[in-house]
Structures are given as structure tokens and as C-alpha cells.
């Protein structure tokens, strides 16, 4: 037989595109359209519907950036269409290639009832099936003219990302507003031909199945009368039934399709627009559930559910019914799909606390899966948190984006720093926006790394990022692929159903230990410094507010601010979303975030001040409150009192005009350039700074990644560096133990104060940067005389070790990594810590000196600022403040303590005298991360703590109040089953902890 394959395939493409698809709507009549443009921000539905619109015609421009326009469409169904299916086709000016990234709409009936959403892949509204003819049609469309930020030429700087700079130029052209006859037979023929054509393209050319499909398609095309597609579509479909009914091989890969719409809680749109995106998507999905009995849709992010409940009660009613039917499924159990690298220990825990509690309270549903398809890597402390929240599974897809190394598993157990293992799945379809294309399903089957021992994978199916969700076309394709020879099988299932099957068939999967590092988007650890500082500050203010409010409530009857803390926590958690905290959202988002953090700080400081005054009582004695989990200046952790005085620091002048600071513990030399050339640990007689090198060195790199500007820093940035060694001023500071340094470079200015506090083995560096560079990366370097093959960086509830070398491509790829409050390096018996109050990104490199002592120089560099121009062209422009401390002679315990210290400065209040801690722990390795009252309002005291040094610990927790009983709980403060009760002796509770083990105790007050 002659090989005419290419001929038939080309024929299929043209006939499908030019004849069959257009015949889905064979007849149409125009609708009358009028529009009212809402001034300013979106208005309530009733106001938009009641507004008096003005006529507009198809072809007219509409919608300034971020505007809202209310379209009223009216018309009459022709009498001749009686008995047929009729739909309204409402094209606001869509580009079908950009679902979720441009204008969208939500359709309402005249009474305000939502019908469904409109987006580039979902432009239809069912009028009747069948119609009687003569029906009056009246619909209202709330249309959002969101501008296109990520265009065909991506990453170009744009002012459209903030309504204050976006202008008023109309963004869209009204394209089609019609009533049309919907021919379902032709539509089904389109689905049949698409499914078979896509499957055929994935099969081997020498496969008999491919040729069977080719011949069946050819016969179907022969049956299509190109001048009467509608009259011949049924015959064409009949010629395809044979190949569509052939069953899949018993060994076929099995895909669990989960209806999905990954909606970024903010990204290339502001938070307020996400509220509407969720409403549109939820309206679409509940409508689709009504039409498609096999379809199942899952939605994550409790915050987005809460928005629907608060802002769209009519949509919420439909959602609640679909949840009750088991088909609209809450998933993930987190408040938002957060970043997991940068949130602190308690914040990461509270993501699950607030997320799971919302679904429990609203629906009685316990989520057992964490659902994070688009998060930029996963910290090594996360498995324990997932388990402590009562969950046991994790899904993500993003690791498939890694640039250098291919992750070796799709289904595995992920082991965290404490030994906790979580059953984890990476969908081999390699997208969280699966559309049921044959290429996607074939890729999932081919790509699946665990063939031979497992054959289940999951496919999140639906348009996402900006929402939209699953379409009827995707559902129809999935139906064809349910059991089709040559393809993986497809079945709609909930996340729980998938995980139960996958775990049952693969009870002993391989294990991956440590962080799940994404070899991409590394710059998100630095971009938008003020957003990151706002997050860190809020986390620590919340700790203080809970600690002092709980202490004051127990001691003085102070009214514990349950509602305020709940609301503030949820706001902070929202801003940990994986495009807000990472700094990859538009300018509008970060402008609002800065204002929000300032407002929250004021509220939290008010709570803290009120609680501390209640505790301190009346008096004029200066009382120092210590919020840190370690004793400080003689004040116990969680207590208050009069601080002890400790020595003095002497400043002298170096011969070169620099300065020497000496407090008897450290002797620090700062040369005339303002660089630290010596930091001598006097007791250990050990130099910290590598010979011939200088610390406190600001380094400036060009920073223009190949793509994803706010997200990425590419390794070649290191090829060029400018050491900022010229100083305008190096002068004595305001006190005896400090030096002030001023530098200017480019259009920017840096002012630093280096100080050596009396009685402390730490050099404090306070850095102010007035930053006006673009596409530059600013680092602060500390070359250390330490030989270390690995270093520790703090993560949630512990720390994680990374190598300092680059033996393998996996190690080399980690050229920018995350830490929380500290990084720590050590040789046996002596180490160095570098702690910070607000930075996350860093790098660690090592070299061997070729002259002199031939020792090892290990350089730690903290990442201060970047200046990408997309999606916010003014990223980080302006003034910034950073605080770091270099701690020579530090063990890991010192690193932990100093990390807390720099983030929780003392507070002084005039009062009557000392305040005893509400709880104390007698073991420094056991760090208390939260002291609070139980969320249920019972008055029970909840204490959360963990082993922080990486070893086993025995400790006694002592309550400063009468205790009736003690319960070990999960993060949601529920008793842990099969967990032995701790040994209690009065107010003393004895605990034993494994390395990095997290524990929550609930103490019922007598």
C-alpha cells in the first residue's frame, strides 16, 4: 500500500479547521448590546445590573486597563429554531491562546443569579435545549478588562501592572454577540476527530493501530459533504465508532483526571480580581457538573473558598450543594498554595491549621493531601508539618520545570529533616493545565518514571493560572479516552481516590531525602525585599502578640484577641502565596502588600503593648520583655524584668585610618575601606576572616536572566562582578562600639553601621540601601577561614545541610538557596554563624588558597536586592534596611539563639517589676515557637516546640499556672491518637524529642 499518511493527516487538519468546526454553529442572529462602564473599582452586582447602559456595536473598543464594564445583551430566539439547541456566543475580544490572562466575564440573569463565566475557551451560554422559539433573551455580563501583562513577547517591562500607571486606553474589541444554533452532532464529530487525530500522531508510524485510525478518519472525511456538514456529520461519526470502541490494553497507563483550575491568588492581577476569577470559575464548574455526571472538580486554597462565601453568596450556594454531592471537592487543606521555602515554622503550620479548619467547619471534610502544583520548590521541614496537620500525601508538578537535572521519580516517599515520610506524586503529564490533548496523555504514559511497579498518575485538568477550569470539550475527550486502544485510560477521580489507589499499588516506593529544590526561579528568594521584610516582621509580631496576650490573659484576665489574631494570621498567610511572597507579582500587588503589612504591624503592636502594660502593672521601673525562646540579658524566655549590664566595647583607630572594636570577646578590625579584615575570637584565639580577604564586601552583578525576570537568576550572572570597595565615609559611630560607613555607586547609596555590642560575641551590621539600579544583583560577602564540606541553613522547625562543593550537577544547580534566620558553618569545635532579620537568598562557595597556609576559604554571600523590570518595572526601587550579624565561635545552638535574637528585639515598658514566663523549658535545644490560647476559646494554653540542634533531647516544660491535664495534639489542637501522654508532675511536663521533632502540647488550666 502506498504511504499516503501525510496526505490524510493534512486533509484532516484543513477539513476540521475550515469546515467542521465552523459548522458547530450553523445559524446565528445578532444580539442587541449596551454597555455601562463602572467608574473606579468593581461595583456590587445589583448596581451593575441596574445601571443604565448605552448602545455599543460589535467591533467597538471597550475597557480601559483594570476596568469593569457591564454589558446588557438582549434578543429573541427565532421561531424557526423551535426544537433546536440554542446558545449565546459572547466574545468580548478573546484571544483563545490566553485563557486566564486577559478579559473575562461573569454572566447573570436579570435577577442577579450567576449563570457561568466567560473566558477565551468558554464563550457560550446555553439558552435552551430545545427551545420553543420566540423566547426573549436578556443577560448581563460583568466584564473585566484586565490587561495582558505576559504577552507573546514575554517579560517586556510594562506600566499596565498597576492601575495608577496603566492609563485608560481601551484594551479589547467586542468581537461577537450572537444567538446561534448549536449542532451537538457536529460538535461531537469535532471531538471524535480531535481525539483520534491527536492519538494517531502519538502512535509509532509502523503501528497497526495508527493505520487503522488513519483509514477510519479517511472514511469519515469521505462521508462529510463540505457543503452540508450538518447533514452528513452523523454518518461521518458512524464511520469512527469502530476505532473509538476498541478497548485499551490491560497494561495501559491509568490517568486519574481531576477537574482543576489553578488560580493564582495574585500574580498578573491584584487580589481583588482573584476574588472575581474564583467566582467565575466556580460558576462555570458548578454548571459543568450539572451537565456532566462523571465529572469531578477539585479546588484548593481555603482563602478562595472564603472569598466566594463572602462576596458571591449565590455562587456559594451552588458550590455547597456540589460539595454535598461529593463532586466539587475541597483539596489541599492549606489557606493558600503558599511558597514553602520562606514561610517560618509557625506560619507554615498555620497554613494547614487555617486551611484544614475552614474545610472542616464548612463541610466536615478532612483533607489528607497537600496540593501545591505550582510552588517553587519545597523546604526539607515540610513533611513533618504535613503529618502534624493530620495529612499524609503531597502533590506538586513544578519540579518538572527544573533546568538541569531530571527528578528520578514520579511517585515516591519524601523524607524530611526529622525522618517523617510523606507519600508524594509528581504528575508525569508535566502540567497543571492539562486539556486532555492526546499529546499530553501520551506524554504522561511515556514519561512516568515508575513503570513496571506502578501505573497510576494524576492529571490536573482545566485552564489555570488565571482560572477558567475544565471545559466541556475536555470532559468529552476524557470520555473518549476512558478505554481506548493505543492510549492511557482516563477516569475522573477525586485526589483522595487517586492517592488511595496509587499508595495501594505502590506501598514501598523509593525515598527522596531532603529538600525538593527547584532548579529554576531562584531569584524569588530576593525579589521585592519589602514584601519579604513585611512577611518576616509579621511572623514575629504574631509570635509576640500571641505570647504576651496569652500570658496576660492567664495572669490578669486580659481579653485574648481571638478574632483579631485569626484575621491577621489569615492575611499574613494570604500574602505567602507563591507569587506574592516570592516577589513575582505585578506592582499593584506589592504596593498593596506593603500597605497591608504596615497596617498589620500597627494592629499587632497595639495588642502587644496593651498586653505588656497589663503584665507590667503600674510603676516607673524600666521592664525589659524578652519574646525570644532563650534567656537574654538575664531575662528568661517569655518573661520580663530588669536587664543585667555586661562590660563595654572599646573603639580605637587603625594606622590606615580604619577602626578596631574590642569587647573582650571579639576584636574586629575595619579598614579604611569600611571592610572587615579581621574578626578575632579572643577566647578561642581563632580568626574568622580568611587571610588576605575582607568581609562586609558589597558586590554588584549584572542580572538579566534569559527569561522570567523577577523569578530567575541565571548562573552566568557570576561571570561579572564589581566589588564595591570605595567608601565616601568610614567614621566613628554614635556610640563607642560602632563605625559608620557610606558608599555610593551608580545611582545608589549605602549607609552601614557596624557595631560590637558589649558582652556579646557578634558583629552587628545594619545596612541602609537607597537603591536605584536596574537589572543588577547586590550581594554582601563574608569570606570565612573555615574548612567545611557542608553548611546548615535554617528551615521550618530545624535546619538543613547543603554541600559547599559542586561534585555533581545536583549540587552545582543549588547556586542560590534559601535560609531563614541563619546559616552556619563549622569545623569540629568551632564555627561561624551569619544571621539576618529579613533576607532569604544566599550562596556558599569554597576555594583552597594556593599560597600561604593553603587553607580553605568558605564564602557566604547574602542576597540583598535585585532590580528586575518584569512584571514590576520599579521592583525594589527606593530605601531598604537590613540587619545581619556575624557570630564567630558559634555552635549550632548559638546560630539558633542569635537568629531569634536579631528578629525579636527587646521591648521596654515602664511598670512595677518582673513578669514570670507563662511556660519555661529547661533545655536550650528545645525551642518554643508558639505560646497561645487554644483556638476553640476554651482558655487552654497551647505550647508548640521542637528540637532545634539536630540531636535527641530530654526537657522539662514548666507551666507558670495550675495545670489540670496535658494532651499531645496535632497542629489543629486535637488529641493525637496512639500517642502516649507525657509524664506530668504538677506543673512540670517531661518530654523526649527526636532530632528536629515537633510537638504541640495542650495544657488545660485547673
- Cell numbers for 553: 490573659
The CA distance from 436 to 442, in Å, is 10
In the predicted model, residues of the chain with pLDDT beneath 70 are: 1
SS3 392: coil
Query: Strand locations in 301-392, DSSP E?
Result: 328-330, 369-371
Please list, in sequence order, all residues whose beta carbon lies within 8 angstroms of the beta carbon of residue 75, skipping any fewer than 6 positions away: 29, 30, 31, 32, 136, 137, 179
Burial 704-716 (b: 16+ CB within 10 A, else e): bbeebbbbbbbee
* Backbone Cα Rg of the chain: 31
Contact 298, 262 (CB under 8 A): no
Contact 578, 376 (CB under 8 A): yes
Residue 80, Cβ density class (10 Å: 0-12 exposed, 13-18 middle, ≥19 buried): exposed
Side-chain-side CA neighbours of 276 within 13 Å: the count stands at 27
Contact 847, 856 (CB under 8 A): yes
Cell numbers 564567630 correspond to: 888
* Catalytic residue numbers, as ranges: 374
- N-term to C-term CA, the chain: 90
The continuous run of DSSP H or E covering 847 comes out as strand 841-848
Query: Dihedrals φ, ψ of 512, to 5°?
Result: -115, 125
Alpha carbon separation from 83 to 27, 135, 181, 916, 1006 (Å, rounded): 14, 12, 10, 81, 74
The CA distance from 125 to 409, in Å, is 43
The CA distance from 758 to 742, in Å, is 24
Nearest to 701 by CA among 773, 783, 776, 781: 776
Residue 645, Cβ density class (10 Å: 0-12 exposed, 13-18 middle, ≥19 buried): exposed
* CA-CA-CA-CA dihedral for 534, 537, 543, 546, to nearest 10: -60
Longest dimension (CA), the chain: 102
Find the helix packing angle between 313-324 and 345-363, rounded to 10°.
80
Query: In the prediction, which pLDDT does 1 show?
Result: 66
Angle at 502 between CA 501 and CA 506, to 5 degrees: 120
Contact 117, 104 (CB under 8 A): yes
Amino acid at each position: 500500500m502506498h504511504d499516503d499518511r501525510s496526505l490524510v493527516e493534512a486533509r484532516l487538519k484543513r477539513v476540521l479547521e475550515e469546515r467542521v468546526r465552523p459548522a458547530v454553529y450553523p445559524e446565528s442572529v445578532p444580539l442587541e448590546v449596551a454597555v455601562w462602564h463602572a467608574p473606579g473599582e468593581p461595583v456590587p452586582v445589583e448596581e451593575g445590573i441596574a445601571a443604565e447602559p448605552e448602545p455599543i456595536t460589535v467591533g467597538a473598543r471597550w475597557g480601559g486597563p483594570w476596568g469593569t464594564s457591564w454589558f446588557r445583551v438582549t434578543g429573541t430566539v427565532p421561531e424557526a429554531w423551535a426544537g433546536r439547541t440554542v446558545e449565546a456566543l459572547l466574545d468580548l475580544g478573546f484571544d483563545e491562546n490566553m485563557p486566564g490572562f486577559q478579559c473575562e466575564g461573569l454572566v447573570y440573569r436579570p435577577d442577579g443569579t450567576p449563570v457561568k463565566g466567560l473566558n477565551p475557551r468558554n464563550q457560550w451560554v446555553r439558552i435552551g435545549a430545545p427551545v420553543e422559539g420566540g423566547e426573549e433573551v436578556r443577560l448581563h455580563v460583568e466584564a473585566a478588562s484586565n490587561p495582558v501583562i505576559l504577552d507573546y513577547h514575554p517579560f517586556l517591562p510594562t506600566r499596565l501592572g498597576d492601575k495608577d500607571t496603566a492609563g485608560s486606553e481601551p484594551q479589547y474589541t467586542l468581537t461577537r454577540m450572537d444567538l446561534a444554533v448549536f449542532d451537538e452532532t457536529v460538535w461531537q464529530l469535532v471531538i471524535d476527530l480531535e481525539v483520534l487525530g491527536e492519538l494517531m500522531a502519538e502512535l509509532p508510524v509502523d503501528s497497526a493501530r495508527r493505520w487503522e485510525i488513519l483509514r477510519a478518519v479517511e472514511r469519515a472525511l469521505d462521508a462529510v459533504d463540505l457543503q452540508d456538514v450538518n447533514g452528513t456529520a452523523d454518518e461521518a461519526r458512524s464511520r469512527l465508532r469502530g476505532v473509538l470502541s476498541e478497548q485499551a490494553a490491560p497494561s495501559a497507563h491509568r490517568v486519574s483526571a481531576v477537574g482543576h483550575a489553578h488560580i493564582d491568588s495574585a500574580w498578573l492581577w491584584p487580589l481583588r480580581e482573584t476574588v472575581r476569577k474564583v467566582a467565575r470559575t466556580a460558576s462555570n464548574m458548578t454548571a459543568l457538573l450539572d451537565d456532566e455526571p462523571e465529572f469531578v472538580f477539585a479546588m484548593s486554597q481555603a482563602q478562595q473558598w472564603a472569598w466566594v462565601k463572602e462576596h458571591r453568596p449565590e455562587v456559594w450556594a451552588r458550590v455547597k450543594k456540589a460539595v454535598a454531592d461529593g463532586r466539587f471537592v475541597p483539596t489541599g487543606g492549606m489557606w493558600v498554595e503558599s511558597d514553602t521555602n520562606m514561610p517560618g515554622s509557625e506560619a507554615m503550620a498555620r497554613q494547614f491549621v487555617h486551611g484544614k479548619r475552614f474545610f472542616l467547619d464548612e463541610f466536615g471534610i478532612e483533607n489528607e493531601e497537600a496540593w501545591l502544583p505550582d510552588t517553587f520548590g519545597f523546604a526539607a521541614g515540610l513533611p513533618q508539618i504535613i503529618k502534624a496537620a493530620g495529612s499524609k500525601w503531597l502533590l506538586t508538578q513544578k519540579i518538572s520545570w527544573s533546568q538541569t537535572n531530571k527528578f528520578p521519580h514520579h511517585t515516591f516517599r519524601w523524607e524530611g529533616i526529622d525522618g517523617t515520610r510523606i507519600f508524594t506524586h509528581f504528575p508525569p503529564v508535566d502540567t497543571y493545565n492539562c486539556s486532555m490533548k492526546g499529546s499530553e496523555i501520551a506524554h504522561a504514559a511515556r514519561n512516568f518514571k515508575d513503570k513496571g511497579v506502578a501505573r497510576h498518575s494524576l492529571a490536573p485538568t482545566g485552564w489555570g493560572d488565571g482560572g477558567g477550569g475544565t471545559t466541556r470539550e475536555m470532559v468529552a475527550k476524557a470520555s473518549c479516552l476512558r478505554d481506548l486502544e493505543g492510549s492511557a485510560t482516563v477516569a475522573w477521580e477525586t485526589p483522595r481516590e487517586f492517592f488511595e489507589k496509587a499508595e495501594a499499588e505502590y506501598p514501598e516506593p523509593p525515598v527522596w531525602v531532603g529538600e525538593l529544590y527547584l532548579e529554576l526561579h531562584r531569584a524569588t528568594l530576593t525579589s521585592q525585599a519589602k514584601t519579604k521584610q513585611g512577611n518576616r516582621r509579621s511572623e514575629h509580631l504574631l509570635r509576640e502578640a500571641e505570647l504576651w496576650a496569652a500570658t496576660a490573659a492567664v495572669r490578669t484576665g486580659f481579653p485574648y484577641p481571638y478574632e483579631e489574631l485569626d484575621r491577621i494570621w489569615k492575611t499574613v498567610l494570604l500574602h505567602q502565596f507563591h507569587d506574592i511572597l516570592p516577589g513575582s507579582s505585578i506592582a499593584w500587588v506589592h504596593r498593596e502588600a506593603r500597605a497591608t503589612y504596615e497596617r498589620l504591624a500597627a494592629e499587632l503592636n497595639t495588642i502587644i503593648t496593651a498586653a505588656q502594660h497589663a503584665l507590667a502593672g503600674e510603676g516607673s521601673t524600666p521592664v525589659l520583655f524578652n519574646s525570644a525562646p532563650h534567656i537574654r540579658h538575664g531575662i528568661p524566655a517569655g518573661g520580663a524584668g530588669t536587664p543585667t549590664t555586661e562590660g563595654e566595647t572599646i573603639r580605637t583607630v587603625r594606622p590606615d585610618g580604619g577602626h578596631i572594636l574590642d569587647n573582650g570577646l571579639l576584636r574586629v578590625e575595619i579598614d579604611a575601606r569600611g571592610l572587615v579584615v579581621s574578626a578575632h575570637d579572643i577566647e578561642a584565639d581563632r580568626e574568622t576572616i580568611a587571610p588576605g580577604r575582607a568581609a562586609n564586601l558589597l558586590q554588584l552583578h549584572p542580572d538579566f536572566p534569559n527569561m522570567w525576570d523577577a523569578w530567575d537568576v541565571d548562573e552566568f550572572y557570576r561571570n561579572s562582578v564589581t566589588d564595591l570597595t570605595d567608601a565616601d565615609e568610614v567614621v566613628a559611630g554614635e556610640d563607642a562600639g560602632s563605625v559608620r560607613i557610606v558608599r555610593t555607586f551608580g545611582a545608589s547609596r549605602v549607609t552601614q553601621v557596624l557595631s560590637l555590642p558589649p558582652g556579646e560575641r557578634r558583629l552587628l551590621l545594619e545596612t541602609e540601601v537607597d537603591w536605584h539600579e536596574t537589572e543588577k544583583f547586590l550581594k554582601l560577602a563574608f569570606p570565612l577561614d573555615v574548612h567545611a564540606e557542608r553548611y546548615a541553613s535554617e528551615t521550618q522547625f530545624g535546619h538543613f545541610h547543603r554541600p559547599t562543593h559542586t561534585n555533581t550537577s545536583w549540587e552545582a544547580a543549588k547556586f542560590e538557596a534559601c535560609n531563614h534566620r541563619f546559616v552556619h558553618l563549622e569545623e569540629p569545635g568551632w564555627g561561624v554563624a551569619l544571621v539576618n532579620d529579613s533576607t532569604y537568598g544566599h550562596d556558599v562557595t569554597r576555594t583552597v588558597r594556593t599560597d600561604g597556609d593553603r587553607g580553605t576559604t568558605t564564602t557566604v554571600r547574602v542576597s540583598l536586592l535585585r532590580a528586575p523590570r518584569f512584571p514590576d518595572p520599579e521592583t525594589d526601587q527606593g530605601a531598604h534596611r537590613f540587619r545581619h550579624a556575624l557570630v564567630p565561635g558559634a555552635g549550632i545552638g548559638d546560630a539558633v539563639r542569635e537568629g531569634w535574637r536579631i528578629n525579636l528585639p527587646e521591648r521596654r515598658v515602664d511598670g512595677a517589676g518582673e513578669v514570670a514566663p507563662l511556660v519555661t523549658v529547661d533545655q536550650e535545644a528545645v525551642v518554643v515557637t508558639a505560646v497561645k490560647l487554644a483556638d476553640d476559646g476554651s482558655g487552654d494554653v497551647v505550647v508548640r516546640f521542637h528540637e532545634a540542634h539536630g540531636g535527641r533531647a530530654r526537657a522539662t516544660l514548666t507551666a507558670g499556672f495550675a495545670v489540670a491535664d496535658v494532651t499531645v495534639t496535632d497542629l489543629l489542637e486535637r488529641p493525637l491518637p496512639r500517642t502516649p501522654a507525657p509524664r506530668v508532675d504538677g506543673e512540670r511536663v517531661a518530654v523526649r524529642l527526636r532530632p528536629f521533632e515537633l510537638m504541640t502540647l495542650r495544657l488545660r488550666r485547673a
